[in-house]
Amino acid sequence: MYEFEFARPETVADALQALGEEDAQALGGGQTLIPTLKQRLAMPTTLVSLGGIAEIKGVCQTDDGKLAIGGGTTHADVAAGASAYPALAALAGQIGDPAVRNRGTIGGSLANNDPAACYPAAALASGATIVTNAREIAADDYFQGMFTTALEEGEIITEVRFPVPEAANYQKFLQPASRFAMVGVFVAKFADGVRVAVTGASEEGVFRWTEAEAALSANFSADAITGLSVAEDGMIGDIHGTKAYRAHLVGVMTKRAVTAAG
């Protein structure tokens, strides 16, 4: 790692001030950023830990029935605390490994937007709202391609608000080495329709499979997907699987998610 200054503010306001310095960078749980720093792929002058900010931690339900999760909440705390949204709790409980889940945070994951991360699929399929210190961003507007989001420099995710669907499920097919999602599909059935978000598969990062959404909104059963497929073009092809394989897995995982959601 390159040398950097370390700051650990206790309020969002102090964090924003610290992040206002040139080349300052926010540190969530560090489970992606610290390995990145070790490879010297980032060179912040100041690393602003969000780990000391109590006001952005925790899980609660909002008055309008949504599940609100503080941006600094760890995966382990979501897995344990999001019982109002079991599919989301289950997803959080499958991220990385137990030690990673004790440090990694939902805000950190969404801010990073790794194309194989799990949370983006949940946020997009749920139609979540990403709340920052400055504004509220709809998930549909938030994810802008691999490692790219609507966040401005120095903006902090303070909360993520999830509408709780009638039925939902996340199916993750593991990349054998990293155990990130080779393909992960989150299906969420709401009264007004079904949303399907796919992570791991696309060169553009998380995306909604609108064709499947339409079919499932009409008929929420695995059979509804039969015959549908995502285009191979634009899928990730690498040493773990070809584009064709990933496109195939999107269909398989979607069916399984629908079946499991019931």
List of residues contacting another protein (CB under 8 A): 1-6, 8, 27, 30-31, 34-35, 37-40, 47, 49, 51, 76, 96-100, 102-103, 173, 176-179, 238-242, 245, 248-249, 252
| Of 137 and 250, CB closest to another protein | 250
Amino acid, res. 45: T
| Of 128 and 247, CB closest to another protein | 247
| Of 161 and 243, CB closest to another protein | 243
CB of 261 to another protein, least distance (A): 18
The answer to whether residues 56 and 108 touch, using CB atoms and an 8 Å cutoff, is no
CB of 28 to another protein, least distance (A): 11
Distance CA 125, CA 123 (A): 6
- How many CB atoms are located within 10 Å of the residue 7 CB? 18
| Of 16 and 252, CB closest to another protein | 252
CB of 239 to another protein, least distance (A): 5
Distance CA 222, CA 224 (A): 5
| Of 30 and 165, CB closest to another protein | 30
| Of 50 and 215, CB closest to another protein | 50
CB of 26 to another protein, least distance (A): 13
DSSP-derived 3-state class of residue 142: helix
CB of 98 to another protein, least distance (A): 6
Structural tokens at position 227: 């015959």
Structural tokens at position 201: 């598969």
CB of 138 to another protein, least distance (A): 32
Structural tokens at position 129: 């709202």
In the sheet that holds 157-162, the strands lie side by side as: 59-61, 67-70, 157-162, 129-132, 136-138
Only one residue has tokens 């608000």, namely 161
Only one residue has tokens 């309008």, namely 64
> What phi and psi, each to the nearest 5 degrees, are found at residue 71?
-60, -25
